[in-house]
Amino acid sequence: MKLFKAALLAAALSMPLSQHVLAATPDNVLVVAQNIDDIVAIDPAQAYEFSSGELVTNIYDRLVQYDAEDPTVLAPGLAAEWEADADAKTITFTMRDGATFHSGNPVRAEDVAFSFARVIKLNLTPAFILAQLGWTAENVDQMVTVDGNKVVVKYEGDFSPAFVLNVLAARPASIVDEKTVMEHEEDGDMGNKWLNANSAGSGPFQLTAYRPGELVRMGANADYFKGAPKVENVIIRHVAEAATQQLLLQSGDVDMARNLTPDQINGISADNIKVETYPQAAVHFVSFNQKTEALQPEALWEAARYLVNYEGMTESFLKGQMEIHQAFWPKGFPGSYDETPYTYDPEKAKQILADAGVETPINVTLDVINSTPFTDMAQSLQASFAEAGINFDIIPGTGSQVITKYRERSHEAMLLYWGPDFMDPHSNAKAFAYNRDNSDDNYQATTTWRNAWAVPAEMNDRTAAALAESDADKRNGMYVDLQKDVQAKSPIVIMFQAAYQVAMDEKVNGYVNGATSDFVYYRLVTKD
């Protein structure tokens, strides 16, 4: 039987995507239809796209990591335990016994030091995440050292150990097999070219085939320290068109369709197909550039919170895609604030403006990405804000055009979204509650600076204090308080948290899709 299934699998991989492949996928293989054309790199030192993040998570391990059993809990990974010394700004990790790379090489403390130094020295896109710890190409070899089976990590800056641990749970902190990687070094690239077509990890799966813009195949790691995956192979077929994904799912040629539209989701009627919804970390907001005089009154900020038709959007064209969320840190993670005190109330908004002496009408441009659901959201905001005399002139543009204007601070109002770079509340607190230097020549990749909002000194101080706080519960409470204040008084109106829907065969169970692409796990999947 295994030989028969293997033959079917080989046939599936050899046939063009446009052909009808199988009436049913093999029991020990999960076949996924997904648009993966965003992949630029799969080397964890370079990977920065959504799809590549998913691959890295399933192929590599980290010292500490969020895992499939509970993506909200930071758990031991390749480190069995650790001890933090906040005063000395040091964390000492004790390596797990018996962990091996897919090559068969043991996972050593030296591999950890190599992996961290490699990210910093290559200095590719995600390197900034580790560089936050004060690591540079010149000092990283002294900041990360090895003592037997222990790794000693030093950091610079007023950080809590909790923040450092979350940084070390991020994608670029994945541990690679030094011996295997350096066997494939070319021209001093530390194996970068080779790792963008191959893998050298210790995770639950290993990369067995990668054809850019066509497919990814991962084979189960039978020796994985947390137990072998339930399926022997995961095949991700690049299928760009949502309609094609739907047809493949309905015909039984794939087990999961990852990119169906809301209309397609709502139109699924087959009894053997189910849809699961997963909250995502991205928060969606409308913001007001403080360089625009008409958008400076705090009363306008307050009124705006009552001019968003939250339920109207989430119950119609956003149904299944977004849920109401009005704080900067997504729910589902420690430190989130999930209260939603604002509702659509144009009469209250008009009264707030009138009491403050804000004259209307106010005419303002609203930049938006020219695709669904953003254009639909913009039209809804245009209609609801007009109820209080705030008139939006919608300016659609490509994603790059809109983001460029945002970075230049040349917009007036902006409809956009924000996702954390790593799962620590500071990742979003620095974006929504911190801006000590609001000058034009001090570019910051934050919503506060991009909207020219000079954050009050007291809030800046509290954001810095939360970053440095070592007590986890107290720290989370500090972030909750920051979210309450930003929610109540800032030129950024947070409206929604994204949700992600996946259609799959009813036999598929155990799939885990956390709040970001780094939290997609196939290890527990079964096909019962």
DSSP class per residue in 52-101:
HHHHHHHH---SEEEETTEEEEEEESSEEEEEEETTTTEEEEEEPTT-B-
**Does residue 268 sit within a domain?**
no
**Does residue 478 sit within a domain?**
yes
Phi, psi of 42 (to 5 degrees): -120, -5
Q: Are residues 486 and 516 in the same domain?
A: no
Pairwise CA distance, residues 306 & 197, whole Å? 50
| Total number of domains constituting the chain | 2
Q: Are residues 467 and 388 in the same domain?
A: yes
Tell me how far CA of residue 266 lies from CA of 240, 246, 279, 320, 504, in angstroms.
20, 12, 18, 9, 14
How large is the angle between the packed helices 457-468 and 472-488, nearest 10 degrees? Answer: 160
Q: Are residues 511 and 488 in the same domain?
A: no
Do residues 97 and 171 touch, judged by C-beta distance below 8 A?
no
DSSP sequence for 6-43? HHHHHHHHHS-TTS---SS--TTEEEEEE--TT-S--S
Q: Are residues 515 and 489 in the same domain?
A: no
* pLDDT score for 421: 83
Pairwise CA distance, residues 335 & 426, whole Å? 10
Q: Return the CA Rg of the chain.
A: 24
Give the pLDDT means over successive 10-residue stretches in the chain (528 positions): 38 42 80 94 94 97 95 94 96 98 98 98 95 98 98 95 96 98 98 98 98 96 96 97 94 96 87 93 97 98 98 94 96 92 98 98 97 93 98 94 94 95 92 97 94 98 96 95 98 96 97 92 96
* pLDDT score for 332: 81
Q: Are residues 307 and 245 in the same domain?
A: no
Query: Which CATH number do you get for residue 138?
Result: 3.40.190.10
Q: Are residues 334 and 411 in the same domain?
A: yes
Query: Which CATH number do you get for residue 322?
Result: 3.10.105.10
Exposed (0-12), middle (13-18) or buried (19+): which is 361, by Cβ within 10 Å?
A: exposed
Do residues 163 and 130 touch, judged by C-beta distance below 8 A?
no
Q: Are residues 487 and 510 in the same domain?
A: no
- Name the nearest CA neighbour of 107 among 73, 137, 77, 74: 77
Residue type for position 157: G
Q: Are residues 146 and 62 in the same domain?
A: yes
Which three-class secondary structure state does DSSP give residue 379? helix
* pLDDT score for 333: 83
DSSP sequence for 338-371? --------HHHHHHHHHHTT--S-EEEEEEEESS
- Name the nearest CA neighbour of 178 among 93, 98, 108: 108
Q: Are residues 105 and 228 in the same domain?
A: yes
CA angle centred on 446, ends 122 and 345, rounded to 5°: 145
Give the number of other CB atoms < 10 A from CB of residue 193: 14
Tell me 105's DSSP state. Answer: P
Domain that holds residue 218: 2-258+506-527
Q: Are residues 204 and 237 in the same domain?
A: yes
**Does residue 272 sit within a domain?**
no
* pLDDT score for 269: 84
Give the 3-state secondary structure of 418-460: ECCCCCCCHHHHHHHCCCCCCCCCCCCCCHHHHCCCCCCHHHH
**Does residue 226 sit within a domain?**
yes
Query: Which pTM value belongs to this model?
Result: 0.85
* pLDDT score for 528: 87
Q: Are residues 423 and 340 in the same domain?
A: yes
Q: Are residues 447 and 331 in the same domain?
A: yes
Going by their DSSP bridges, the two strands 150-154 and 413-418 should be labelled as unpaired
**Does residue 295 sit within a domain?**
yes
* pLDDT score for 518: 92
* pLDDT score for 272: 94
Tell me how far CA of residue 28 lies from CA of 8, 31, 235, 376, in angstroms.
12, 10, 11, 42
Query: For the chain, how long is the longest CA-to-CA vector?
Result: 78
* pLDDT score for 270: 87
Residue with tokens 């929610």: 487
Pairwise CA distance, residues 495 & 468, whole Å? 29
